[in-house]
Amino acid sequence: MTDESRIDIYRVIKDHRSRHQEDDKLENISSSSQSRSGVIFSDIPDIFFDRILVDIKLNRYDTLILMYLYRRIWCRPNLYQKHGISQMLSLGEMAKLLNIEMTDVYQSLRKLEGFGLLKTIRSGQYFIRRYFLKEYDQELGQKYDDFDI
């Protein structure tokens, strides 16, 4: 093996990017978000602040989990977005990321489901309406591609 071929191999290895690194970068960048100085902005409808937070008494954990799931469905690349469904999520990873105990995660998910703010498709996969409640979706003309709960 010559020194020239060795240099080419090292250059290829050096320039190689892991598939996981590229996936992580895509996950962190939102097509609807604007990034300034590395900060990512998410589009949350004003109806959340004007009606949901005023009319429905959510605690800190409920709000954290709802916003986490909403952002994963509506503000990040998601194959199931037109249906309002999240990709499969690890509840353990979500709890760790949000610094919440698993029991609190389960309680909040049940509470949010009771308010009609989310629907469990299966453990780790959730349906959240674009405008949070069915009446707001109807009022604002939101439809889901051949899927409605």
pLDDT in tens, 49-104: 999 999 999 999 999 999 999 999 999 888 888 888 888 899 999 999 999 999 99
Confidence band for 112, pLDDT divided at 50, 70 and 90: very high
What is the DSSP track for 76-133? S--TTGGGTBPPP--HHHHHHHHT--HHHHHHHHHHHHHTTS-EEEETTEEE--TTSS
Is the pLDDT at 30 greater than 80, yes or no?
A: no
Q: How far apart are CA 49 and CA 84, in angstroms?
A: 20
Segment holding 39, helix H or strand E: strand 39-40
Which residues on neighbouring strands pair with residue 39, listed in sequence order?
Answer: 36
What CATH number is given for 46-140 in this structure? Answer: 1.10.10.10
Q: What is the DSSP letter of 35?
A: E
**Predicted confidence band at 9 (pLDDT cuts at 50, 70, 90)?**
low
Residue keyed to tokens 């105990």? 101
Task: Calculate the alpha carbon distances from 88 to 8, 27, 42, 78, 143 in Å.
Answer: 40, 14, 20, 11, 22
| Overall pTM > 0.85 | no
Where in the chain is CATH 1.10.10.10? Answer: 46-140
Task: Taking residues 36-55, report their average pLDDT.
Answer: 89
Q: How far is CA 68 from the centre of its chain?
A: 6
Both tokens of 15, joined, read 């320039």
Could you give the angle at the alpha carbon of 42 between the alpha carbons of 120 and 52, nearest 5°? 55
What pLDDT, on a 0 to 100 scale, did the predictor assign at position 5?
47
Query: Could you tell me what percent of the chain has a pLDDT over 90?
Result: 54
